[in-house]
Amino acid sequence: MLEALAGRADLLILCGDLTDNGHPDEARILARELARGVSMPMLAVLGNHDFQSGQDEEVVRVLGDAGVRVLDGEAVEVKGVGFAGVKGFCGGFGRRTLEPWGEPGIKDFVRLAFDEALKLESALAKLRTPSRVAVLHYAPIEATVEGEPREIYPFLGSSRLEDPLNRYEVSAVFHGHAHRGALEGRTREGAPVYNVALPLLRRALPADPPLRLVTVSVDGTEAPRIEPWSRPPNGARADATATTEQRSPT
């Protein structure tokens, strides 16, 4: 899968669930594969699976040693394009978004969603590039979780993540987590949102490598576009981004 990127992209984005159960040994397996197959810069966010064992800090350290910059409310510029990354959280979408009312447990749950949205907003505010890309694990819009059972929509993402995306006019958004969702959607302001969960890509695009190859204009004057894998590689381009979620399906 990673060898397919050779000569095709300038940056690899990993949208969370980099391990199955959050064990550092699982992160070391991924780190070895990345070191062997990827020579470009790598950005990532953690997913819910990466917290399962309570060793997320060690997972971040292992991946960092392999050259993966794990974002948690940070902003970084790569070849003229700005990237802001957070894990995000759940809570639901639109008028059905859970509100901080009632028991302390509900208020704590909603506070986590608020905190992730604030981290995303802070990271986007630091970027001064014409093009800004958001990297998430949880979905910021309902459109890219459609296809999942409606009963679990509240656990797949939160509309609170969308507000910063609209406020700072992002060029594109990438997320994972929704394995049976939809490949693409748009924010209220029209920014494309790409669901790059690995099981979804394998099922929806069986003829292609389970990655999305997306061109982002450095100056922000052109809309992002998905590059077909059938086109012969023409060397590295400063505006190419490849994305995936690494967790294997269960």
Tokens for 50, please give them: 């990466």
**DSSP collapsed to 3 states, the chain:** CHHHHCCCCCCEEEECCCCCCCCHHHHHHHHHHHHHHCCCCEEEECCHHHHCCCCHHHHHHHHHHCCEEECCCEEEEECCEEEEECCCCCCECHHHCCCCCCCHHHHHHHHHHHHHHHHHHHHHHHCCCCCEEEECCCECCCHHHECECHHHHHHCEEHHHHHHHHHCCCCEEEECCCCCCCCEEECCCCCEEEECCHHHHHHHCCCCCCCEEEECCCCCCCCCEECCCCCCCCCCCCCEEEEECCCCCC
The number of residues making up the chain comes to 250
Which pTM was predicted?
Answer: 0.91
The packing angle between helices 24-37 and 56-65, to 10°, is: 20
- Non-local (6+) Cβ contacts of 42 within 8 A are 11, 12, 13, 14, 34, 67, 68, 69
Q: Which pLDDT does position 3 carry in this prediction?
A: 82
What is residue 6's predicted lDDT score, i.e. its pLDDT? 81
Q: What pLDDT score does 248 carry?
A: 35
pLDDT reported for residue 37: 81
Q: Tell me what pLDDT residue 231 has.
A: 60
pLDDT score for 191: 97
**Average pLDDT per block of 10 residues along the chain, 250 residues long:** 86 97 97 90 98 98 96 96 98 93 95 97 97 98 97 97 96 97 97 97 94 93 90 44 42
Q: What integer pLDDT is reported at residue 239 of this predicted model?
A: 38
All structural domains of the chain = 2-244 (3.60.21)
pLDDT of residue 232: 53
